[in-house]
Amino acid sequence: MLTEAKKEFIEFMMESDVLRFGDFVTKSGRNTPYFVNTGNYRTGKQIATLGKFYASLVKETIGDDFDCMFGPAYKGIPLAASAAASLYNEYGIDKPYFFNRKEEKDHGEGGSIVGYKPQNGDKVIIIEDVITAGTAIRETMPILKGAADVTVNDMFISVNRCEVGTTPGKTAIMEVGEDFGIKVHAIVTVADIYEYLKASGKYDDMIPKMEEYMAKYCIL
């Protein structure tokens, strides 16, 4: 269901040139009529607004039932930082955050983890942009498990593309749930974006392209 908050987020992504419509090719080689590039957020206002959307999703789904938040390098780093700031500013929830370096540091304190040092038994939430094939999470879990004996039950993303992953009949998010026991929460889904386009009446040329793409690659 397209709520007012979801509509606001879709419009925010479009205004920020993060959600674009046209002809694109995803990393998995699929031709797609829409593309999400969170690398296009570039102003203080944008990242502050984005943090509020993530914080709201965290608050309404799990409240403060977690110990720390992790942002995978590179795009997850500003997402985790802004979400942590907004959780405190909006709801008084003060939780530590941390992220990884792609290249391990061999001087100073060393290691690949920056920020909070996770402890055995910590409940970690992951803040990410999108999941297409689930590759990033498969790279992230060994980093987290290598840092401490942590539990990861929840992951928060901007857009659930609802696309089939490596296994026929299953989305990448279903696979992540089965392989790692992680529940993925999205601010919006491809179905929300489709509903938005239909309701706006300004994107009639995109509707059949979205329908064709969703029929081919999505499980709703």
Is 0.95 topped by the overall pTM? no
- Measured distance CA(166)–CA(123) in Å, rounded: 28
Which tens digit of pLDDT belongs to each residue from 194-214? Answer: 999 999 989 999 999 999 999
Residue 185 appears among annotated catalytic residues: no
Q: Could you say which of 27, 102, 107, 202 is catalytic?
A: 107
Closest residue by Cα to residue 192 from 165, 217, 214: 214
57 and 185 Cβ atoms separated by less than 8 Å: yes
From the candidates 59, 105, 145, 183, which is the catalytic residue?
105
Query: Which of residues 135 and 18 earns the better pLDDT score?
Result: 18
Confidence grade of residue 101 (pLDDT, cut at 50, 70, 90):
confident
What pLDDT, on the 0 to 100 scale, is given for residue 107? Answer: 47
Q: What CATH number is given to the structural domain containing 54?
A: 3.40.50.2020
Domain of 117 in residue numbering reads as 4-101+113-217
Peptide bond into 74 cis (omega under 30): yes
Does 107 participate in catalysis according to the annotation?
A: yes
Instruction: State the total domains in the chain.
Output: 1
pLDDT in tens, 51-96: 999 999 999 999 999 999 999 988 899 999 999 999 999 999 999 9
